[in-house]
Structure formats: structure tokens, C-alpha cells
Amino acid sequence: MLRLSWMTSPEPLHDIAHLGSVELLTPQLEKSLWYFRDLLGMEVVQRTAAAAWLRGYGDYAASTLKLSQAPSPGVGGIAWRATSPAALERRAAALQEVGLGIGWTNGDFGRGRSFRFRDPDGHHMEIYFEEQRYEAAEGLRSALKNQPQKYTGRGVGVRRTDHLALLASDVATNRRFAQELLGFQLREQVVFDDGKNEIGSWMSPNAIHHQLAYVADVKGGHGRLHHFSLWVDNREDVLRAADILVENGVFIEAGPSKHNNSQGFYLYSYEPGGNRVEIYSGSYLVLAPDWRPVTWNERERGTGTYWGAALPESFIQYGTPDIAGEAQTPAPDLSIFY
Ligand SMILES: [Fe+2]
């Protein structure tokens, strides 16, 4: 059992800069690649037989998404960029101290030395500082000096990675881990009316509303993914994404519509490997260093949508890898979730 004796720092931690890269596991690598490259418009920057590395046209890093062939869909390594080499060392020592450390690696494609660890629910994460900046090949150079790559206009044309939502059997413990060990600021959360359990918590190390969310795993699993989210600049782009995905036979699970929590404008589809992917825009930035987390109870949360159709049952029940069985007891009523 993980001990919960880590201390809340009296000063905010600024050791993590942002979400750097997400690895998605897929049993359909070529089809997943088609989805992210041809439909969403990402660029492939590196390829092996069992993996592909991609990026959005606005990402400054060499790669922000890795697709890895695997027996089942899900999330692999989640990489966070540290604010400095010293910050990396500090976080590595703190994670080692509480027993979550796994060890050092030389880093995946585009990244230097990295410290691997797990969160309390079992998701694999790592922190790194050294980053290979993307340099566009001929034909992909932007006319804009301040843009790493030109906008190609292929498919949805996602600009960058935005956030991911992980399922966790114990949201509160994982939320505390992210706040106290990674220094993330809690932005919003949804709690049951009894006040004892958390349905979900949305957090970030920077001004982006949330870069990491933990939401309740109603099936009692561990280390599972709810969704991975990519940013587009405006709501019209989300609507256009819906057209493109439908025309290509991709299942749309929910949206386009607007959340109340985060105010995000969303569209959820399943990429061919089975992972839920969100096309996201709108939302709001958080600049306040003394931000007061917004807590929604069940009634306030309502259907989870600001307007638009209610989220389907699958949004609560399905995560990757998909696991058999019904909701564990006590089964929370998550119809108000999101
Ligand atoms: Fe999201």
C-alpha cells in the first residue's frame, strides 16, 4: 500500500513544465497511424516496424505522440517535461522517496535522460528535461519564423497535444499524488454529494486548464486510459473534424458539444485501435497562482454538458484496455459525470 505521508509544500512546485508526450498502445498500428496522420493531420517523424512517432504542426518538440503495436489498446508511457535539469533531479528524488520510482533511461525518441515512475494507480510516467527541438524538413518549413512547421491543411489539422484523462480506482489518492509530488494545480473537481469520494479531478502544471485528469474507474481496473486530447484553434474546426471522421467511417461517441467543467468544446471518437480520442477547443486559461479549485457536486454537475446531448453510458463504462465485468460495488452513479 502506498504511504500517504508525502508533505504538501508551503511553496508551489514549478518542477514540471508541461505534458510532453503520450504513448498510445494499439493492436492496429497501421490503421491507428492512418487515423492520426491522414485524418487528424499529424506528421510522422520516426518509424519502426512496431512503433510510429508523430507531432502536431504547432508542437515545438520532435514528437508528442507515440503509437506502439500492442495486444490491447491503452496508454503506455506518459512523459512530462521538467522545467530544468535540477527540477528533474528533484522530482526523481521525491518519487523515489515515496516508492514510486522505477529508474533512469536514456530517453525515448527526441528526449534525453528520463526518470521513469508510476502513479499510485499504476500508469507509467516519466520526467525528462533534454528535448530535441523539431526542425522541419524541406517542404514542411513555415513562412512564419515563430512556427515550427507549416500548417499543411491535411484532415483535421490538429495543432498540438492538450491533455489526457486517466481512469483511476481511487481518484483522491492519485489527485493528491499529482498535486503534491508533481506540483500540479487542482483546477476543478466533481465530488459525490456525500463528500467522501471524488468522481474526477482536473489538474495542470501550467496555464492550460488541465493537462491531466483522473476520473473514477467504475470497473475497478488499474492503469487504464479514458481519453487522449488534441487541440484545434476554434470550435468550427471541431465541427469540421466531425464531418471528416464520419466520412471516413470513424465512430463518434459524443459531441460536438460543450462541457460545463472546463468549458471545453469537444468531440470524442475511437481511433481504430480502440482508444478514445478527443478533438478539443475553447476552454479557458488559468493564470491565478492562488486559484481556488472549483468543486461541483452531483446536482451542480448535472449531465456534465453545458449544452448539447447528454454523454452516453459508454463514456462512463468504456476505457482502454477494455475489461470485462460490471461495475464494482459500490457502483457510483456516474450519470452526472462530466
Ligand atoms: Fe478531455
Q: How far is the CA of 145 from the centre of ligand 1 (A)?
A: 31
Predicted local distance difference test score (pLDDT) of residue 319: 98
Q: How far is the CA of 282 from the centre of ligand 1 (A)?
A: 12
Question: pLDDT by residue (tens digit) across 240-288?
Answer: 999 999 999 999 999 999 999 999 999 999 999 999 999 999 999 999 9
Question: pLDDT by residue (tens digit) across 245-257?
Answer: 999 999 999 999 9
Predicted local distance difference test score (pLDDT) of residue 282: 96
Please report, rounded to a whole number, the percentage of residues in the chain having pLDDT higher than 70: 93
Q: How far is the CA of 127 from the centre of ligand 1 (A)?
A: 22
Predicted local distance difference test score (pLDDT) of residue 326: 52
Predicted local distance difference test score (pLDDT) of residue 325: 62
Model confidence at 140, pLDDT cuts 50, 70, 90, reads very high
Model confidence at 9, pLDDT cuts 50, 70, 90, reads low
For residue 192, give the C-alpha cell.
Answer: 459525490
User: What's the farthest any 2 CA atoms get from each other in the chain?
Assistant: 59
Q: How far is the CA of 273 from the centre of ligand 1 (A)?
A: 18
Question: pLDDT by residue (tens digit) across 171-208?
Answer: 999 999 999 999 999 999 999 887 778 999 999 999 99
Q: How far is the CA of 284 from the centre of ligand 1 (A)?
A: 13
Distance CA(333)–CA(301), nearest Å, equals 13
* 274, HSE (Cβ side, Cα atoms, 13 Å): 20
Predicted local distance difference test score (pLDDT) of residue 337: 33
Q: How far is the CA of 141 from the centre of ligand 1 (A)?
A: 30
CATH class for the domain made up of 16-136+155-317: alpha beta
Q: How far is the CA of 162 from the centre of ligand 1 (A)?
A: 8
Q: How far is the CA of 247 from the centre of ligand 1 (A)?
A: 23
Domain map (residue ranges) of the chain: 16-136+155-317
Mean pLDDT, the chain, integer: 92
Contacts 24+ apart (CB under 8 A), 320-326: 320/25, 320/72, 320/73, 320/74, 320/75, 320/224, 320/225, 320/274, 320/275, 320/276, 321/72, 321/73, 321/74, 321/224, 322/72, 322/73, 322/274, 323/219, 323/221, 323/224, 325/219, 326/219
Q: What angle do CA 188, 283, 145 make, to 5 degrees?
A: 130
Residue that is written with C-alpha cell 509530488 in the block: 181
Q: How far is the CA of 228 from the centre of ligand 1 (A)?
A: 7
Q: How far is the CA of 268 from the centre of ligand 1 (A)?
A: 9
Residue that is written with C-alpha cell 507509467 in the block: 124
Predicted local distance difference test score (pLDDT) of residue 338: 32
Predicted local distance difference test score (pLDDT) of residue 310: 86
